[in-house]
Amino acid sequence: MNGQASRLIQLRQLEERGKKFSTSKIVSICSGKGGTGKTFFAANFAYQLTRTGNKVLLIDLDLNFSNLNILLNQAAKDVISEFFEQRKSLSEIIYNYDKNLHLVFGDSGREDYPRISKEVLEYLFISILKISNNYDYIILDSSAGADELTLYQLIRSDFNIIVTSPEPTAVMDAYVIFKLLSSANFSGEKLVVVNKCTEEDAQTAFTNLFAAAKHFLGEEPKFLGAISFDEAVHKSIVRQELLTEAVPQSSPAKEITAIVNSFVSFAQVANNNHNRFII
Ligand SMILES: Nc1ncnc2c1ncn2[C@@H]1O[C@H](COP(=O)(O)OP(=O)(O)OP(=O)(O)O)[C@@H](O)[C@H]1O
Ligand SMILES: [Mg+2]
């Protein structure tokens, strides 16, 4: 980390003060267990948010196995390590998917990935804050689990959407994320999406997660919605298309649209309460 980054970190306090008066807009998509559908959901959630008139920046922050570029069939010349290694600014590595959806890609298949420290990750958050006025929401796709860096990312976000599949193992791992966020005094919002499920599976999975969080943490998780297990998702990934763009009439696409609508209402209420609290 060079002097420039250190100075930026020193600015954090000042900018944090400014942030208290701004809108909550950083949304991490996370999970305990791997493969629950975070990247698929993050991309389609971001795209569908733009269909409701929002301007969105989607950042691939899966530092282990980034693959948003493959999912969206985009050639990524400038990737996030260029930013972490301070060769490029955040603005310089942003791609336009279209007018309202902008993307930052990770590096895939690189062996000598730069070691990311919390300071470097903080440098990203400061840089996000600087360009945040250009966007309504900034979505961060994450690695599975909660290693030190991922947990830091989740704590620095305003909203965490925890994507789980209905299997008890995945639900238990989602509970662990709740527990870690609770231990770290995360003050933002935690919202649950159950993916690859039937309606009945989703209800059972959420009821179990709710019971565990209520009993052990004294918390009541909020349900954002469920997405059916559907072959159309697999097909869209193979075709490197966004399901919500290519097949908007499919069940999972409609369910993601409903999730986006719930999220937008939820975020509006959260932001109104936040602003009332500040005033
Ligand atoms: N609703 C769904 N119906 C059917 N298959 C799905 C659904 N959602 C995701 N999948 C499948 O699950 C696989 C994993 O999805 P994805 O890569 O988005 O998960 P992830 O949580 O990002 O994984 P990782 O933890 O490795 O980052 C994909 O290959 C996709 O085909
Ligand atoms: Mg992923």
CA of 62, closest atom in ligand 1: 27
| pLDDT in the model for residue 21 | 47
Q: Which residues in 15-65 belong to E strands, given as ranges? A: 26-30, 56-61
pLDDT at 177 over 60: yes
User: What pLDDT score was predicted for residue 271?
Assistant: 83
Q: Is 10 part of any domain? A: no
For residues 195 and 164, give the distance between their C-alpha atoms in angstroms, rounded to a whole number.
6
Q: Is 66 in the pocket of ligand 1 (CB under 6 A)?
A: no
What atom in ligand 1 is closest to the CA of residue 31? 21
Domain for residue 1, yes or no? no
Q: Of all residues in the chain, what percent carry a pLDDT higher than 70?
A: 88
The bound ligand whose nearest atom lies closest to the alpha carbon of 233 is: 1
pLDDT in tens, 69-102: 888 988 888 999 999 999 999 999 999 999 999 9
> 108 pLDDT exceeds 80?
no
Nearest CA-CA partner of 51 in 274, 243, 269: 243
Q: What is the pLDDT of residue 23?
A: 79
CA–CA gap between residue 210 and residue 213 (Å, rounded): 5
How far, in Å, from the CA of 221 to the mean position of ligand 2? Answer: 23
Domain that holds residue 134: 23-278
Is residue 195 in contact with ligand 1, taking CB distance under 6 Å? Answer: yes
Give residue 13's pLDDT band: very low, low, confident or very high (50, 70, 90): low
Is the CB of 237 within 6 Å of ligand 1?
yes
Does residue 15 belong to any structural domain of this protein?
no
Domain count, the chain: 1
**Mean pLDDT along residues 135-142:** 97
CA 241–ligand 2 middle distance (angstroms): 15
Q: Sheet holding 101-104: strands in order across?
A: 95-96, 101-104, 56-61, 137-142, 26-30, 159-164, 189-197, 222-228
Report pLDDT digits (tens) over 28-64. Answer: 999 999 999 999 999 999 999 999 999 999 999 987 7
pLDDT-based confidence at residue 152 (cuts at 50, 70, 90): very high
- Determine which helix (DSSP H) or strand (DSSP E) holds 142, and give its type and residue range: strand 137-142
Expressed in angstroms and rounded, the spacing between residue 206 Cα and the centre of ligand 2 is 22
Across 25-29, 76-80, 113-117, which has the greatest mean pLDDT?
25-29
**pLDDT number for residue 113:** 65
Angle at 227 between CA 249 and CA 196, to 5 degrees: 120
Is residue 211 assigned to a domain?
Answer: yes
Q: Has residue 223 got a pLDDT over 70?
A: yes
What percent of the chain stands above pLDDT 90? Answer: 76
End-to-end CA distance of the chain: 38
Using the predicted structure, report yes or no on whether residue 228 has a pLDDT greater than 60: yes
Q: Is residue 201 part of a domain?
A: yes
Q: Is the pLDDT of residue 11 over 50?
A: yes
> Residue 223 maps to which CATH number?
3.40.50.300
Residue bearing the bigger pLDDT, 4 or 191: 191
Per-residue confidence at 278, pLDDT binned at 50, 70, 90? very low
Mean pLDDT of all residues belonging to the chain:
90
Q: Are 81 and 107 in contact (CB under 8 A)?
A: yes
Of all ligands present, the nearest one to the C-alpha of 43 is 1
Domain assignment present for residue 46? The answer is yes
> What's the whole-number mean pLDDT along residues 181-208?
96
Residue 242 lies in a domain: yes
- Give mean pLDDT, residues 202-216: 97
Which ligand gives the minimal distance to the CA of 226? 1
Q: Is residue 8 assigned to a domain?
A: no
Ligand nearest to the CA of 198: 1
User: Is residue 2 scored above 80 in pLDDT?
Assistant: no
CA nearest ligand 1 atom 18, residue: 37
Mutate-to-test residue for ligand 1 from 29, 31, 40, highest number of ligand atoms within 8 A of CB: 40
